Copies of this chain bind each other. A is one copy, B any other.
Amino acid sequence: MAFEKVTREENYSEWYNQLVYNADLAEHSAVKGCMVIKPHGYAIWENMQAVLDKMFKDTGHSNAYFPLFVPKSLFEKEEKNAEGFAKECAVVTHYRLKADPNKPGSLMADPDSKLTEELVVRPTSEAIIWNTYKNWIQSYRDLPILINQWANVVRWEMRTRLFLRTAEFLWQEGHTAHATREEALEETTKMLDVYATFAEEFMAIPVIKGVKTENERFAGAVETYCIEGMMQDGKALQMGTSHFLGQNFAKAFDVTFQNKEGKIESVWATSWGVSTRLMGALIMVHSDDEGLVIPPKLAPIHVVLVPIYRKDEERIAVIEKMDEIAASLKAVGLKVKVDDRDTHKPGYKFAEWEQKGIPVRLALGPRDLAQNSIELARRDLKTKEVVSIEGLESRIQDMLDDIQSSLYNKAKQFMESRTYSVNTWEEFVDVLENKQGFAYAHWDGTGETETKIKEMTKATIRCIPLDNTLEAGTCILSGAPSTQRVLFAKSY
């Protein structure tokens, strides 16, 4: 906090950077492009993981683990996938260091340890996994395979932003194998729904479900489904993708099975993933100029208790009562922290927990003790009230429920208020430049027009919404006929 705090209004991008730092979520590391996820940030990610992991298991998936490295010859096999990721690959070429004869005290890659085949650090794991599935699948009896992996991946990035774009990031990647096209398609949309439910019910972020255009599709996919959320600057953030891979990987890796009729067929595939990018969405949708705001369902701490005292005997009495209150809150399942540090003043603690986004704060002083009351502060609305200690548990539980739904409603209203249906190029540019929001517009369906629009406005087609109604119209740029509106926005 050595620098002047910037507001969202003044500089949204700098506000984000400061918030990530001040809320102790993450920081840049000594490794170009790689971040350190600090305990407070990691605790929120762990909560996301726990919820998602349960949702995956409830839908029949198991976790497994596949190698970090992909031999170059496997990486190359699915051509489009290889082409799509080749420019971002960290490459391992040696397996040993030795003392550098020219620089005492220094090490160098030992030339004698040069690998005969380079290893790519996985940017995604389709190649290594489908090469493995090949040995697991012979008959329809071996299908479906429903596997998820929690892992780190590396996609080299020159311009990085904490959580949003880093060379190494953490994610989960589901990889499933099916006997039929229908079953694989059903899996693809099922997992998209899981992501949408997670975003809306746990992250309190409304999302638009849709399908990507060819230009924006995952390298190697037949169709890419996605969920898109709106940040407070009106930009879109892709929050999760679910890919229908058709038989592309099965064919590249020669994965076939004998169907019930004894015929040999290629296997159908899906893959789907969300990453630590979700942390970026969480921050950008709900937080304010004071700092982070965490939806209660993902908060590592629901309630922080700060004691107020001057003299030592006050301290003892106040903390004793606080511990008692903390115990009663824990007893109803709340995650509670008593901040009894004697190295910091209450005001400092208030500011720190506010920046860190803890949903509810309690403060208790000697006067409260006498009156059996306590100060209850709500992070999202920044309201404070003095309430009775009697019945505090249910009052806080209700408040947390209210914060969760109120964050969602606020985000939903915001997204709706910034979403426009536009019919002319002028209206389109006005939404992107001045109104800063989402524009539903007609598009002629060609990659050329899409690319031109991107060059002219920096906006891309975020998706063709799944619930789209068909209507006749003309492309905002080319004027060619169109049958439906698609979602345009600037994006992260």
Binding site for B on A (CB under 8 A): 27, 29-31, 34-39, 42-43, 46, 62-72, 74-76, 79, 82, 86-99, 105-109, 118-121, 128, 131-132, 135, 141, 147, 151-152, 154, 156, 168, 170, 343
Bound CA–CA A109/B72 (angstroms)? 9
The residue that A92 contacts in the complex, of B70, B82, B90, B96, with Cβ under 8 A, is B90
Chain B residue numbers with a CB within 8 Å of A98 are 86-87
Number of copies: 2
| Closest partner residue, chain B, to A70 (CB atom) | B31
Given contacts A30-B74, A68-B168, contact A62 B91 (CB under 8 A): no
The contact sample of 17 A-B pairs, CB cut-off 8 A, is A29-B67, A30-B74, A36-B66, A37-B65, A39-B62, A42-B64, A42-B65, A65-B170, A67-B168, A72-B107, A82-B107, A87-B97, A88-B95, A90-B94, A90-B119, A95-B156, A121-B121
Given contacts A69-B34, A72-B97, contact A62 B86 (CB under 8 A): no
Contact: A96 with B89, CB < 8 Å?
yes
Contact: A89 with B93, CB < 8 Å?
no
Contact: A67 with B31, CB < 8 Å?
yes
Contact: B147 with A39, CB < 8 Å?
yes
Contact: A91 with B97, CB < 8 Å?
yes
Chain B residue numbers with a CB within 8 Å of A96 are 86-89, 91, 156
Closest 7 CB pairs of A and B: A34-B67, A39-B62, A37-B65, A86-B97, A91-B94, A95-B156, A31-B67
Bound CA–CA A99/B34 (angstroms)? 26
Bound CA–CA A154/B92 (angstroms)? 12
Knowing that A37-B65, A79-B105 touch, tell me 17 more A-B residue pairs with CB under 8 angstroms: A30-B131, A34-B67, A37-B64, A38-B64, A42-B63, A67-B168, A68-B154, A69-B168, A75-B97, A75-B107, A76-B106, A76-B107, A82-B107, A87-B96, A91-B93, A91-B109, A93-B109
Chain B residue numbers with a CB within 8 Å of A70 are 31
Chain B residue numbers with a CB within 8 Å of A90 are 69, 92, 94-95, 119
CB distance from A349 to the nearest CB of B (A): 13
Bound CA–CA A174/B87 (angstroms)? 35
Bound CA–CA A98/B75 (angstroms)? 12
Chain B residue numbers with a CB within 8 Å of A88 are 95-96
Contact: B91 with A120, CB < 8 Å?
no
Chain B residue numbers with a CB within 8 Å of A87 are 96-98
Contact: A43 with B71, CB < 8 Å?
no
Contact: B71 with A30, CB < 8 Å?
yes
Contact: A94 with B93, CB < 8 Å?
yes
Chain B residue numbers with a CB within 8 Å of A95 are 88-91, 156
Contact: A120 with B97, CB < 8 Å?
yes
| Closest partner residue, chain B, to A92 (CB atom) | B90
The residue that A93 contacts in the complex, of B43, B64, B93, B343, with Cβ under 8 A, is B93
Given contacts A71-B31, A106-B76, contact A62 B36 (CB under 8 A): no
Chain B residue numbers with a CB within 8 Å of A86 are 96-99, 107
Chain B residue numbers with a CB within 8 Å of A99 are 86
- Between A31, A42, A128, A141, the greatest number of chain B beta carbons within 10 A of the residue's beta carbon is seen for A31
Bound CA–CA A469/B455 (angstroms)? 78
CB distance from A472 to the nearest CB of B (A): 44
Given contacts A31-B71, A63-B46, A90-B95, contact A118 B128 (CB under 8 A): no
- Between A93, A108, A128, A135, the greatest number of chain B beta carbons within 10 A of the residue's beta carbon is seen for A93
The residue that A29 contacts in the complex, of B93, B120, B128, B168, with Cβ under 8 A, is B128
Bound CA–CA A27/B64 (angstroms)? 12
Bound CA–CA A156/B34 (angstroms)? 23
Contact: A128 with B93, CB < 8 Å?
no
Bound CA–CA A46/B64 (angstroms)? 10
Contact: A62 with B42, CB < 8 Å?
yes
Bound CA–CA A95/B33 (angstroms)? 12
- Between A69, A70, A96, the greatest number of chain B beta carbons within 10 A of the residue's beta carbon is seen for A69
CB distance from A373 to the nearest CB of B (A): 32
Contact: A76 with B105, CB < 8 Å?
yes
Bound CA–CA A34/B132 (angstroms)? 12
CB distance from A145 to the nearest CB of B (A): 9
Contact: A68 with B156, CB < 8 Å?
no
CB distance from A55 to the nearest CB of B (A): 16
Chain B residue numbers with a CB within 8 Å of A128 are 29-31
CB distance from A101 to the nearest CB of B (A): 14
